[in-house]
Structure 1
Amino acid sequence: MDYEFLRDVTGAVKVRMSMGHEALGHWFNEEVKGSLSLLNTVEQAARSVIGSERHWQHTGHEYTLWLDGEEVMIRANQLDFSGDEIEEGMCYYDEESLSLCGVEDFLRVVNAYRTFVNER
């Protein structure tokens, strides 16, 4: 999983993720927005479920983060719809709306993000 941190002209941090992990980047850009307190909460939750059967979920405005002892899933909240809403012959494109990764990989990105934010 490759990622890049940038600052826009206002100084806000923007995250770009490799193909297949775009939703993770969107989660940082839309939900975290530099909020280290949210990252602290998520990190603490991740560490509490590693090696267990438990899971934890945080629903934000645009994205939901779900994690268990092994995996993290970021899903756009707009994916909550029934299949009957799509016209026949059409399919829903969700490649940039859903990302999965391992907990340890996720925690490495969180740590790198935190470091980048604090480098002002």
Structure 2
Amino acid sequence: MEYEFRRNTLTGTVMASFSMDHEALGFWFVEELGESAEKYAEICQVVAKLQSNQLINWRLVGKALSIELDSEQARVFANELENGEEFELEYAMSLYDGESEAYCGLEDFQSVLENWHLFLTEKH
């Protein structure tokens, strides 16, 4: 999984670009986590509890995207996916959901989370 964090030099807006099939993670970091030190600290505590088996799983429902963590992986998904709607597609067609759902290992997620925090706290 490749990713890049950038800050718009004119507006100061942060952006996160993730490789194909992981785009939803980028949206989640920007739109749901943002620059909130409180959310960052909470999620770091949750990851530590999951890694030490003090917690089985955890979910944070956001405005547009939610995140689920367990001891092995992180899942970011659009809240719309939880409403159970099924789309009927023609034969040989598939729905690309890389922008609405993404998975990664918990250790990879932890690394991205730490890098996000470092990026936000850098002098710019």
Post-superposition offset of 1:95: 2.0
| d(CA) in 2 for partners of 1:38, 1:64 | 13
RMSD: 1.7
Question: In 2 relative to 1, CA 12–88 (structure 1 residues): closer, same or farther, beyond 3 Å?
Answer: closer
Deviations 1:5-55 (A, max 9, x none): 101231121111111111000001110121121111111111101253700
User: Shift of the alpha carbon at 1:91?
Assistant: 5.3
Q: Give 1:114's aligned residue.
A: 117
Question: Which 4+ stretches in 1 moved above 6 angstroms?
Answer: none
Aligned length: 118
TM-score, normalised to structure 2, is 0.86
Separation of aligned partners in 1, 2:89 and 2:119: 46
Q: Structure 1: where are the runs of 5+ without partners?
A: none
Query: What amino acid does structure 1 have at the position aligned with 2:119?
Result: F
Counterpart for residue 50 of structure 1? 51
65, 70, 73: which one aligns with 2:72:
70
Q: Distance in 2 between matches of 1:87 and 1:68?
A: 31
- Letter paired with 1:97: S
Aligned to 1:35: 36
Q: Which runs of 5+ in 2 are unaligned?
A: none
| 1:63-119 per-position Cα deviation (integer Å, ceiling 9, x unaligned) | 111010111000111112322xx3563754322111101111111111111111011
Letter of the 2:122 partner, please give it: E
User: In terms of mean alpha carbon deviation, does 91-100 or 64-73 score higher?
Assistant: 91-100
The share of aligned pairs that are identical, in percent, is: 36
Kindly indicate whether the alpha-carbon contact (under 8 Å) linking 2:21 and 2:97 is maintained by their aligned counterparts in 1. Answer: no
